Structure 1
Amino acid sequence: MTDDEFDLLDELYFLQSYEYLKETLGWEHSRLVATLDLLYAKEFVKCYSAPDTEVFGEVNLERDGHRFYYLATKMGLLKHNAL
């Protein structure tokens, strides 16, 4: 797990919006969505279109990532805590 992945997962113990993550981490859009995309591909995060609506299937985070909320999965939290 990269430092960026670790830092991002650190913010996802609770559901967070894209804007919250961008502001809190101070990352540019490309860095944030690239890291989210890596974590999503590893099934370490889930995407939500609204706080109570999970998005299933393929997502295009480069195009739509700013619209989503994010939450670490159980597997993501276990990996994060193992380090």
Structure 2
Amino acid sequence: MTDIEYNILDELYFVVSFKDLLSETSLQESTLKIELKHLIEKGWVRSFSSPSEEIEIELSDYENLYSSLYYLASKKGLLAHNSQ
């Protein structure tokens, strides 16, 4: 796990909007976008269209929707984060 992945997962113990995550991590938008996609592909992060609905977004929709989504670390992601 990279330092960037660790820092992102550190913020995702609760559902967080892209905007808030961008602010909390102090990463560039393009970097956060790419890193979140990698974390989703690894199964470490889940993405949702709303903070109150647990309906995951398809990865194919990520490019168009990433900035309006909400994110949460998955159980697998939390285990990876806590093993560091």
Scaled by the length of structure 2, what TM-score is found?
0.90
Partner of 2:58: 57
Alignment RMSD, CA only?
1.3
Which residue of structure 2 aligns with residue 70 of structure 1?
Answer: 71
Output the TM-score relative to the length of structure 1.
Answer: 0.91
Report the equivalent of 2:48.
48
The gaps in structure 1 that reach 5 residues or longer are none
Aligned to 1:31: 31
**Counterpart AA for 1:55:** E
The answer to whether the 8 Å contact 2:5/2:35 transfers is yes
CA contact (8 A) 1:30 1:62 kept: no
DSSP 3-state at the match of 1:47: strand
Separation in 1, partners of 2:82, 2:61: 28
Report how many residues are paired: 83
Which structure has more strand as a fraction of its residues?
1
Task: Give 1:15's aligned amino acid.
Answer: V
- 5+ residue gaps, structure 2, are none
Runs (4 or more) in structure 1 with deviation over 4 Å come to none
SS of alignment partner, residue 46 of structure 1: strand
Aligned in 2, Cα 1:22/1:56: closer, same or farther, shift over 3 Å?
closer
Q: Distance in 2 between matches of 1:60 and 1:42?
A: 17
Identity of aligned residues (%): 37
Deviation at 1:63, TM superposition (A): 2.7
61-70 or 9-18, which moves further after superposition? 61-70
